[in-house]
Structure 1
Amino acid sequence: MARIKSPCRNICSFDQPSQTCLDCHRKIDEIARWGTMSHMERQKILKDLPRRRKEAARN
């Protein structure tokens, strides 16, 4: 099974209250754990990113 790559584009900027990257929309703990996450955990996060982007755009 191919390893899921990080959605990071090295344009990190964090929203402090939510602890979320404003570029990739992952939380700080997700970014820190990405290298040790299972395939399923990564898929779950990637599947949720479009919702997070929409939510961030509304705020």
Structure 2
Amino acid sequence: MTLSALPVPSPCTNICRMNPATGWCSGCWRTLDEIAAWSTMAEDDKRHIWSLLPARRVEHEPPPVQHRRVIANDPGTGNS
């Protein structure tokens, strides 16, 4: 069996919050139309939707928070 013959899983993460600015779910990054049609969608169409999701996520997900460790009494940080 080839990979293209395998059923395409749903990207649903059970975090269903629609972003009104983008029209995408914040959990799976699909539109309401894509979510509603998923169960009847052709496998090739599902693969196409999957190919769009990483770019949607990168475009609208906030960047990770960078934490800086502060050491007490370190003359280089001004915390003396």
Structure 2: 5+ residue runs without aligned partners?
63-80
User: What is the TM-score when the length of structure 1 is the normalising length?
Assistant: 0.88
Query: 2:56 is matched with which residue?
Result: 52
Query: Which residue, 7, 11, 14 being the options, matches 1:10?
Result: 14
Residues matched between the structures, number: 58
Between 1 and 2, higher relative CO (CA 8 Å, sep ≥ 6) is seen in 1
Query: Which residue, 25, 29, 33 being the options, matches 1:21?
Result: 25
State the alpha-carbon separation in 2 of the partners of residues 9 and 46 from structure 1.
13
Query: Quick check: which one's helix share is greater?
Result: 1
Deviation at 1:16, TM superposition (A): 1.8
Over aligned residue pairs, what C-alpha RMSD do you find?
1.2
Identity of aligned residues (%): 38
State the alpha-carbon separation in 2 of the partners of residues 55 and 4 from structure 1.
24
Question: For the pair shown, which has the larger CA radius of gyration, 1 or 2?
Answer: 2
Query: 1:34 is matched with which residue?
Result: 38
Structure 1: 5+ residue runs without aligned partners?
none
Deviation at 1:2, TM superposition (A): 1.4
**Where does structure 1 differ by over 4 angstroms across 4 or more consecutive aligned residues?**
none
Query: Quick check: which one's strand share is greater?
Result: 1
Secondary structure of 1:20's counterpart equals: coil
